[in-house]
């Protein structure tokens, strides 16, 4: 790890890392881009620990962070011990993945908290990213932090109406009650065989295959987890009718992140000739 300690905090020199691509790609929902004198700044949280992080054109500044905190918290959260350059090199044996890595090669997989991740992806179902962020923001605003399972276990869908989370409120309550009672033990699930882990997570109401996979990938860093949402379904149909190539095995989830970002952007800004813009009116 290449970093220096400065009077403002830590300055990290890191390849394969882009703040927009990592913090605003739909894997985490509590990071906001902030105005600053730097090229790019984000403010957000891991658990109850706040962070302001900037890119100044050459390095990543972890504002007012001690070396001890950087090494024990943030280096792990940003998965700095994984060589994403090497992974991308491996992925580039496949044409589509090569393009995806070239498009958003600065994505890193955040090692998030399992409980926050479970709540967040329950909220994400049949929803869009701005609204997911809004609901989570109202939730944290209400408690002053991201509420624990124990805190949410005594809520009801009525008492959570201020979230405007719709039909998902009852699912949040069920997840909180099961996690708080120990009926669902996120800590032990994280170490289970992945099939057993999926089943255990799916005993929660509102947790199906997609949400379970997201919790495994983003909240338990199980990089072999492969969430299939509407976007990835399109990728699979269009590019991988035979399935994801074998050499990706073990890192399907990381490949998924590159593909997700790639396909979403392709459809947002379609290349010329690939649209229906010019059909007869």
Partner DNA sequence: TTCCAGGCGTATC
Partner DNA sequence: GATACGCATGGA
Where in the sequence numbering do the catalytic residues fall? 210
Closest separation between CB of residue 276 and DNA, Å? 13
Edge to edge, the sheet with strand 60-63 lists: 2-6, 9-13, 60-63, 49-55, 40-46, 32-33
Nearer to DNA (CB atom), residue 211 or residue 248: 211
Closest separation between CB of residue 53 and DNA, Å? 19
Closest separation between CB of residue 213 and DNA, Å? 8
Q: Which residue in the block uniquely carries the two structure tokens 């300690």?
A: 5
Closest separation between CB of residue 177 and DNA, Å? 14
Nearer to DNA (CB atom), residue 12 or residue 118: 118
Nearer to DNA (CB atom), residue 41 or residue 257: 257
Residues 108, 31: Cα–Cα separation, whole Å: 14
Q: HSE, CB side, 13 Å, CA atoms: give it for residue 160.
A: 24
Nearer to DNA (CB atom), residue 43 or residue 210: 210
> Where do the DSSP E strands lie in the chain?
2-6, 9-13, 32-33, 40-46, 49-55, 60-63
Residues 67, 62: Cα–Cα separation, whole Å: 10
Which chain residues interact with DNA by CB under 7 A? 25-27, 124-131, 161, 164-167, 202, 204-212, 214, 227, 229-232, 256-257, 260
């Amino acid at each position: 790890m290449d970093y220096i300690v400065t009077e403002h905090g830590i300055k990290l020199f890191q390849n394969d890392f882009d703040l927009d691509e990592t913090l605003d790609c739909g894997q985490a929902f509590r990071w906001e881009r902030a105005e600053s004198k730097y090229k790019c700044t984000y403010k957000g949280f891991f658990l109850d620990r706040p962070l302001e992080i900037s890119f100044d054109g050459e390095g990543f500044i972890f504002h007012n962070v001690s070396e001890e905190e950087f090494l024990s918290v943030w280096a792990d959260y940003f998965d700095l011990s994984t060589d994403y350059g090497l992974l991308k090199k491996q992925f580039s044996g496949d044409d589509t993945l090569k393009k995806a890595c070239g498009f958003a090669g600065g994505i890193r997989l955040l090692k998030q908290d399992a409980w926050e991740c479970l709540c967040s992806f329950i909220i994400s179902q049949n929803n869009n990213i701005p609204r997911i962020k809004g609901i989570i923001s109202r939730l944290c605003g209400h408690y002053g932090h991201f509420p624990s399972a124990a805190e949410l276990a005594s809520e009801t869908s009525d008492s959570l109406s201020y979230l405007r989370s719709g039909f998902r409120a009852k699912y949040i309550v069920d997840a909180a009650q099961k996690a708080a009672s120990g009926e669902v033990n996120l800590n032990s699930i994280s170490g289970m065989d992945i099939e057993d882990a999926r089943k255990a997570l799916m005993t929660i109401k509102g947790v199906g295959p997609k949400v379970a996979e997201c919790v495994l990938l983003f909240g338990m860093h199980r990089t072999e987890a492969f969430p299939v949402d509407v976007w990835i379904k399109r990728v699979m149909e269009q590019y991988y009718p035979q399935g994801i190539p074998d050499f990706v095995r073990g890192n399907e989830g990381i490949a998924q992140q590159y593909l997700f970002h790639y396909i979403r952007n392709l459809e947002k800004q379609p290349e010329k000739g690939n649209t229906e813009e010019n059909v007869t009116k």
